Amino acid sequence: MDKEALTVFNSIFSSGSAFVYRCANDENFTMKFMAGQIEKLCGCPKSDILGNAKVSYVGLTHAEDIDRVFADVDAAIEARENWDVAYRLSRPDGTAAWVRERGNAVYDDNGEMVYLEGLVVDASAEVNLRKELENTLQKTEADNAEILKLAENILRSVQKLSILAINAGIEAARAGKAGQGFAFLAREIKALADENNAWANRITDQMAGRDSSARDKIMRARAPDQT
């Protein structure tokens, strides 16, 4: 990848907890290219990961999650579809980070697979939020106020992802030819925003039947996203 394209990649992901990659479809997911907040999520610089210099990406993946990750990726490749999988990264300092990866296989003109590429985003807040939401929904209807608060948090996450998607599109347009590969990334970021928005809509529908004021409160929280 040329310097201009790399500059655009770093510009897009410099402020968010995310990175993009290209890797081999081998037992180590040997990384060929990475850009973004690698050290923030993986706990080590990309120079340690590229080419398995000091650690492989598979080596950073939590032992309890690796089989599931391989299964999901293999199934998606076989079906010629994108994969969407959440898993933990085990950092060298002993801490763990939940991430969510959306990716796909890339083929040459002869239909031969040349590499895998994708987007990895910090999913810690998403995982914690959904666990908290599930626990809250299991409680009595007296917890309606807490559910509304969680819905507002989801909506804030949607807004941030939407802004990131817009920025990716803008940077891609500015980059001209060098930004042609960003269209997929922008679509994947938007897909994450749409999915979280669907969660908020689900809460809205459930709460509307319990509390006549719930829909108004959630719609007020959603208002900034529509401006």
Q: In terms of pTM, does the model score above 0.75? A: no
> Where in the sequence is the domain holding 19, given as residue range(s)?
3-122
Residues 165 and 194 in one domain: yes
> Which pLDDT value is given to residue 94?
93
Q: What is the pLDDT of residues 76-134, one digit of tens each?
A: 999 999 999 999 999 999 999 999 999 999 999 999 999 999 999 998 877 777 777 77
Please check whether residues 131 and 114 belong to one and the same domain.
Answer: no
Q: Are 40 and 17 in contact (CB under 8 A)?
A: yes
Total domain count for the chain? 2
Residue with tokens 């998606």: 76
Confidence of residue 51 (pLDDT cuts 50, 70, 90): very high
Could you tell me if 72 and 110 lie in one domain? yes
Please report how the helices 144-175 and 3-13 are oriented relative to each other, as an axis angle in degrees rounded to 10: 160
Whether 130 and 117 map to the same domain: the answer is no
CA 95 – CA 191 distance, rounded (Å): 28
Q: What is the rounded average pLDDT of the residues 171-192?
A: 63
38 and 65 in a single domain? The answer is: yes
Report, as an integer, the average pLDDT of 43-58.
96
Dihedral through CA 57, CA 58, CA 63, CA 67, nearest 10?
A: 140
User: What is the structure's pLDDT at 203?
Assistant: 67
pLDDT given for residue 186 in this prediction = 64
The confidence band for 41, taking pLDDT boundaries of 50, 70 and 90, is very high
- Report the pLDDT value the prediction gives residue 78, as an integer from 0 to 100: 95
pLDDT of residue 101: 93
Q: Among 24-28, 87-91, 180-184, 219-223, which stretch is predicted with the lowest mean pLDDT?
A: 219-223
Residue 142 and residue 111 in one domain: no
